[in-house]
Chains A and B, each alone.
Chain A
Amino acid sequence: MKRLFKTYLEKPELAGLILLVLLVVIFEIRSDGVFLNQDNLRGILGILPETGLVAIGVTILMISGEFDLSVGSVFALMPMSMAVLMVEGVPFPLALLAGLGVCAAIGFINGYVTIRFEIPSFITTLGMLFIARSLTIVVSGGFPPLLPADLPNWLFTSFVGPGHMFRMSFLWFAGIAVLTSLMLSRTNFGNWIKATGGFHPAAASMGIPTARVKLACFMLCSMLSGFAGMLQVLRLGSPLPSIGEGLELQAVASAVIGGASLAGGIGTVAGGIIGTILIRIIDNGLVLSQVDANWFKFAIGFLTIFAVVANAWMRKRAKAIKMEN
């Protein structure tokens, strides 16, 4: 019993999960049962994959001990480069590959510059935030290009499932969430990510290729963000150059609310997703509870601080529970 209690206290996503359940109950009562009805849930689930995929990438990168502020800009740049290519007559699959290639290149540059010149990734990716945003507007030529009519929406944004509950994007999100989660917890590569972020000197002295591990995480983070941006553009039907602004900090908030440590080494994909759901639910629940929507950012800010304090407290409690042999 004691051991079970300790094991659960040590789970980094626990604080977020408890808050999530609490908030769902509160909003359900405050909104007179509107919150959990099918239409509202469908709305939440339709947007969730877009911020959720970004949060997954940011969480994994944070576990490896690095940081990415450029995700919001990459979120806009990837669909914009696809749109520009498609206007030129490039078919969708090729444009998708090219877009992901752009993201991979940006992730590579973020990682390479950070590692090669030993500067904080905070700085590298802050620079990339501006660079990628600027590129988005430059390639668009100032006007968002018109998307062609024959896009494979059935693969990304159409509603599916019982009662048309989900968009296809949710299935992509769920699949990627499961795969990345398994990668982190069940593969040796996941072990290397945690070791690299947990204590870099030890990981390096045990022969882990820490530079390559971090590079891979940077690239994965950028590609997930770009892919998420494409999902949003397909849902909206137009590649606006301003999408994803402020998303970088929301994604960090998701990861942190979900228990990821800014210092690296601690965190889970599930935690990052729980953090994202919390933010989406607050956004939606405040409106349904007829609270002034301007409190949204206040709530996110409060939640971020509260979750980190709660996590630190629980970790300390868990440590204090001494187990005999």
Chain B
Amino acid sequence: MDDAIISVRNLHKWYSGVHALKGVSLDFKRGEALGLIGDNGAGKSTLINILSGVQTADEGEILVDGKPVRIARPRDAMNLGIETIYQYNSMVPTMSIARNLFIGREPTRFSVFGVGILDQKKMGSESIKAIANVDLHLRSPDALVGELSGGQRQGVAIARAMHFKSKVMILDEPTNHLSVKETQKVIGFVRGLKEQGVTGVFISHNMHHVFDCCDRVVAMARGEVVLDKRIEETSIDEVHNVL
């Protein structure tokens, strides 16, 4: 169980003159919860955007299960089993929970060139199952996501990732703007990933949250990895010092 599910090798990214990623190499190990820490502009969001297909690297390679892959679009990442939950929330507030769960991957009864009739029965029953699986209690899959609290929305996003059997779940600052109670809930979700055999990447500003639920911590600063240790071999103070 110690092999890498995703490896990145020597990733570089420039933004109009700014060298945002300076040759980052990192292994994401199967079934591990990895905490990614760094200040604003340290390059963690760039790294995550590259893995989720929102941006592409200027240089370097990505290996999934040891094989080199090209992630040019979000759909490529999703097909590889990499699901990302963003801080700005990856839900459409004006749509129902059931519809949000299946955005872009709607089950259809038949389709022509990818466009077809929705299987609404299946969407309803599967979303009830998916929500229950992450221990979330919601009144109905037809409720609008806009009516849910921030923590419940993250819960639905996680339920979505689980439902589509993602192998790697990237959570980009999922505890931002959440109350203490809801933060605990999200941290609980991250702990739960391991039992389901899902690799978690947890990005946060908050050291305590990372130390609460991760097995390994990686710190980035100025576009480079400056620390990569198991939680039990390091401390909050040490991570603070390298940043």
Q: Measuring CB to CB, which residues of chain A are less than 8 angstroms from any residue of chain B?
A: 10, 186-192, 194-195, 198-199, 201-208, 261, 265-266, 319, 323-325
Which chain B residues lie closer than 8 Å to A195 at the CB level? 92, 95, 99, 103-104
Asked whether any CB of chain A lies closer than 8 Å to the CB of B226, the reply is no
Instruction: Please tell me if the beta carbons of B104 and A206 are within 8 angstroms of each other in the complex.
Output: yes
Task: Determine the main DSSP class of B at the interface with A.
Answer: loop
- Contacts A205-B52, A207-B75 hold; do A191 and B90 have CB atoms under 8 A apart? no
Find A205's partner among B54, B116, B138 (CB 8 Å cutoff): B54
Contact (A186, B118) CB under 8 Å given A207-B74, A207-B104, A208-B103: yes
Closest CB in chain A relative to B91 CB, distance in Å: 6
Q: In the complex, A191 Cα to B99 Cα: how many Å?
A: 7
**Which of B89, B94, B140 sits near A265, CB closer than 8 Å?**
B94
Alpha-carbon distance between A34 and B48 when the two chains are bound, in angstroms: 67
Contact B104 A187 (CB under 8 A): no
With contacts A192-B103, A199-B92, A266-B94 known, what are 9 further pairs, Cβ within 8 A? A188-B108, A191-B106, A205-B74, A205-B86, A205-B90, A206-B78, A208-B104, A265-B92, A325-B137
- Contact size class for B? 35 or more
Q: Which residues of B contact A10 (CB under 8 A)?
A: 144
Residue of A nearest to B111 (CB): A188
Q: How far is the CA of A202 from the CA of B54 in the complex (A)?
A: 11
**Best-buried of B73, B78, B84, B106 by chain A (most CB within 10 Å):** B106
B94 & A191 in contact (Cβ 8 Å cutoff): no
Q: Which residue of B lies closest to A324 (CB)?
A: B139
User: How distant is B83 from chain A, measured CB to nearest CB, in Å?
Assistant: 10
**CB proximity to A under 8 Å, residues B126-177:** 137-140, 143-144, 147
**Shortest distance from the beta carbon of A321 to any chain B beta carbon, whole Å:** 10
Interface residue? B93 (CB, 8 A):
yes
Contact A203 B144 (CB under 8 A): no
B interface residues, Cβ below 8 angstroms from A: 52, 54, 73-75, 78, 84, 86, 88-95, 99, 102-106, 108, 111, 114-118, 120, 137-140, 143-144, 147
CB distance from B16 to the nearest CB of A (A): 16
Asked if B84 and A194 make an inter-chain contact with CB atoms under 8 angstroms apart, the answer reads no
The listed residue (A187, A202, A261, A319) touching B89 by CB distance below 8 A is A202
* 27 residue pairs bridging A and B, Cβ less than 8 Å apart: A186-B120, A188-B108, A189-B115, A191-B95, A194-B95, A195-B103, A198-B93, A198-B94, A199-B91, A201-B86, A202-B90, A202-B91, A205-B52, A205-B86, A206-B74, A206-B78, A206-B103, A206-B105, A207-B75, A207-B78, A261-B94, A265-B92, A265-B95, A266-B94, A323-B143, A324-B139, A325-B139
CB within 8 Å for A207 and B95 given contacts A191-B103, A202-B89? no
Chain B residues with CB under 8 A of A208: 103-104
* Distance in angstroms between the alpha carbons of A174 and B16 in the assembled complex: 53
Nearest 9 pairs between A and B by C-beta? A207-B75, A198-B92, A188-B106, A265-B94, A198-B94, A206-B104, A199-B92, A207-B74, A207-B104
Determine whether the beta carbon of B117 is less than 8 Å from that of A187: yes
Closest B residue to A185 by beta carbon equals B118
**In the complex, residue of chain B having the shortest beta-carbon distance to the beta carbon of A182:** B117
Beta-carbon contact of A199 and B94 below 8 Å: yes
**A263 to B, closest residue via Cβ:** B94
B116 touches A194 (CB 8 A): no
Cβ contacts under 8 Å, B140 to chain A: 323
In the bound complex, CA of A266 to CA of B144 (Å):
12
Q: A166 CA to B167 CA in the complex, in Å? A: 58
Q: Which residue of A lies closest to B146 (CB)?
A: A319
